Structure 1
Amino acid sequence: MLEVTALGWTLTIGVIVALLALDLTLGVLRPHAVGFREAAAWSTFYIAVAIAFGVVFGMVSGWDFGAQYFAGYIVEKSLSVDNLFVFVIIMTTFAVPEKYQQEVLTFGIIIALVLRVIFIALGATLLSLFSFMFLLFGLLLIFTAVQLFRHRDEDPDIEDNALVKAGRRFLPMTDDYVGGKMITKIDGRRMFTPLFLVLIAIGSSDILFALDSIPAVFGVTDEAYIVFIANAFALLGLRALFFLVKGLLDRLVYLSTGLAIILAFIGAKLVLHWAHKDISNSVPEVSTGISLVVIVVVLVVTTVASLMKVRKDPDAKAHAGSVRASSSTPVVSDDQAQPR
């Protein structure tokens, strides 16, 4: 079992908070349209920090735990790309101006990180108290994988979001973004801007992603510390990654299929782990090494197959996938999108 001292937790949280403050400064205090070169530089920085942390962590704690960290980080990073699909859909649906997209993404990442801390604490507690939670988590991931595969050619329908519907119905809303503010005053009346609804949409979608990603990473490791740092480092680079790959996301036509396979694999691993612990020691378990190889191979094959498909069929478009059938397609063209 991994032993992490109070000092270790303090230093780790300090690093995460410092990087988060840096992201907040870049995204909120200095709003601007992010170019490819800037996005590439910051994406490289965050990935390098995550790798460096993993190397140091592996040297200090042992490479068994180091392998668990890298496996968890790769799982969360690949799932975060699916987050980006939904972020693109939300930004397009609400016609968010480019100079305010950084602010939205930064607050979205903060919300996601807070939600994941809550789910990690809850998940770790449940797993330590009830071993059958491994079975429930495994079945949840398998169900999600099946649904994601069934609806792999669809996108989540933001218009069906209950919180967004309630916001539009009950809150006084402006038509414009009013300088990137979420709340403003017009003729002495306090009103909400479309940016507030965007954050509601992103925050509620973060809850759904947390419900999938936390059980998924617990399928790689049952160490709460590793689950936390894998999630944190995967999320911290999301703002820069959004601007780096948003023009390339349409090309990853098989990403949803690949993620469905990964979730199903991890779900099966959790079920086997439960059976090994509660039924019989003769039930085989899947090692971290095998998990890491399977995840990497699926992602590589998915990416290569996607690029080959788009090369043969330039009209092929990727979709985020959905866990349920969408009643309508929320994506609209730039000239049709209007702020609400």
Structure 2
Amino acid sequence: MEVTALGWTLTIAVIVALLALDLTLGVLRPHAVGFREAAVWSVFYIAVAVAFGFVLAHVSGWEYGTQYFAGYLVEKSLSVDNLFVFVIIMGTFAVPSKYQQEVLTFGIVIALLLRVAFIALGATLLSLFSFMFLIFGLVLIWTAVQLFRHRSEERKVDENFLVRAAKRVLPVTDDYVGGKMVARVGGRRVVTPLLIALIAIGSTDVLFALDSIPAVFGVTDEAYLVFVANAFALLGLRALFFLVKGLLDRLVYLSAGLSVILAFIGVKLALHWAHSDLSHGVPEIGTPLSLVVIVAVLAVTTVASLLKSQRKGSDRKPVRASDGERQPR
């Protein structure tokens, strides 16, 4: 795929403009985000991502357009799973609602910068060593197994090494001091829990990138498509957090569905390596089939989760008095 310098410049300009918009909303106007506002911005970011995909398909062809949409769906679904951890982080550090946007926005900026480094490294390794497709595939299969095994376990922020190190080294105040990350209290400079929460989100995203970057390379080996799929998936994360944080506990099968997707992409990468390095008789899994499988797994996972949650809700309804018994007035 040939991407000109102008193409890269325009893409980065659009992403920077959207990041600036996110920073304006999240940092310069700190406030508690309601459901309606979160829904509007979530639809906006998804619409921008979809519009970009259609423009890309029109310019470069639907082969690359399909790869982009498959990569975007993978990254978006993995980012929803990441929101579970973000909710836990916000609760652990008791971040006030009006400051949660700030933490998320800066966290997204850090995540995007980290992803650029991981994407560049991944693209270089894949271009130099073909067996890296097998390594990435095995990493995804192992991640899928671990995700499925621990799908019901509570995730703990206190086990994060950087968070524990920051608390030991830095003077941390218990107060948020007007939403500042670093403040002066009692004549000395201290950091607030807002900075610790940001460290938790940023460092956790490093772990997320270890499975999300190989996963998107599993549907496309074009570094440009990997970058834009990651960027557009991350850009809508702030609004999506406020939209679904009250609904995350209803997606009970999300981790199981994601483990299936990661395992599928891992097998796809392993087959690609075997087809290229061992024998052309080994079958490969095409991008259109990958897109169908990803959409189908996400649809089944979502519907099954909502039905399960609905049944749980109906089971909790108060029992009515049996026939012949009079209800108390």
SS of 1:105's partner is: helix
Deviations 1:279-302 (A, max 9, x none): 000000000000000000000000
Post-superposition offset of 1:314 = 3.0
Deviations 1:103-144 (A, max 9, x none): 000011001100100000000000000000000000000000
1:258 partner amino acid: G
Large movers: runs of 4+ above 3 Å: none
TM-score (norm: length of structure 2): 0.95
CA distance, structure 1, for counterparts of residue 213 and residue 294 of structure 2: 16
Are 1:75 and 2:107 an aligned pair? Answer: no
1:116 partner amino acid: R
The two structures, once aligned, show a CA RMSD in angstroms of 1.0
Deviations 1:141-197 (A, max 9, x none): 000000000000013211111111111122111111111111111122110111111
Post-superposition offset of 1:228 = 0.3
CA distance, structure 2, for counterparts of residue 242 and residue 7 of structure 1: 33
Match of 1:96?
A: 95
1:305 partner amino acid: A
CA distance, structure 2, for counterparts of residue 11 and residue 315 of structure 1: 51
| Aligned positions of 1:154-303 closer than 5 A | 154-303=153-302
Match of 2:323?
A: none
2:183 partner amino acid: T
CA distance, structure 1, for counterparts of residue 178 and residue 272 of structure 2: 52
Deviations 1:287-338 (A, max 9, x none): 000000000000000000001111112399xxxxxxxxxxxxxxxxxxxxxx
Match of 2:52?
A: 53
SS of 1:102's partner is: helix
SS of 1:314's partner is: helix
Runs of 5+ consecutive residues of structure 1 not aligned to the other structure: 317-340
Q: Which has the larger radius of gyration?
A: 2
Are 1:20 and 2:19 an aligned pair? Answer: yes
SS of 2:313's partner is: coil
CA distance, structure 1, for counterparts of residue 185 and residue 246 of structure 2: 36
Deviations 1:230-269 (A, max 9, x none): 0000000000000011111110000000000000000000
2:261 partner amino acid: I
Post-superposition offset of 1:277 = 0.5
2:226 partner amino acid: V
CA distance, structure 2, for counterparts of residue 161 and residue 72 of structure 1: 28
Identity of aligned residues (%): 77
CA distance, structure 1, for counterparts of residue 16 and residue 169 of structure 2: 35
Number of residue pairs matched by the alignment: 315
Match of 1:123?
A: 122
CA distance, structure 1, for counterparts of residue 190 and residue 137 of structure 2: 44
2:70 partner amino acid: A
CA distance, structure 2, for counterparts of residue 275 and residue 172 of structure 1: 53
Runs of 5+ consecutive residues of structure 2 not aligned to the other structure: 316-329
1:144 partner amino acid: T
Match of 1:6?
A: 5
1:179 partner amino acid: G
Deviations 1:5-26 (A, max 9, x none): 0000000000000000000010
CA distance, structure 1, for counterparts of residue 162 and residue 26 of structure 2: 25
SS of 1:284's partner is: coil
CA distance, structure 2, for counterparts of residue 235 and residue 159 of structure 1: 24
CA distance, structure 2, for counterparts of residue 3 and residue 162 of structure 1: 41
CA distance, structure 1, for counterparts of residue 57 and residue 38 of structure 2: 28
| Aligned positions of 1:103-142 closer than 5 A | 103-142=102-141
CA distance, structure 2, for counterparts of residue 188 and residue 153 of structure 1: 46
CA distance, structure 1, for counterparts of residue 250 and residue 2 of structure 2: 43
CA distance, structure 1, for counterparts of residue 222 and residue 164 of structure 2: 38
SS of 1:190's partner is: strand
Change (3 A) 1:315 1:20: farther
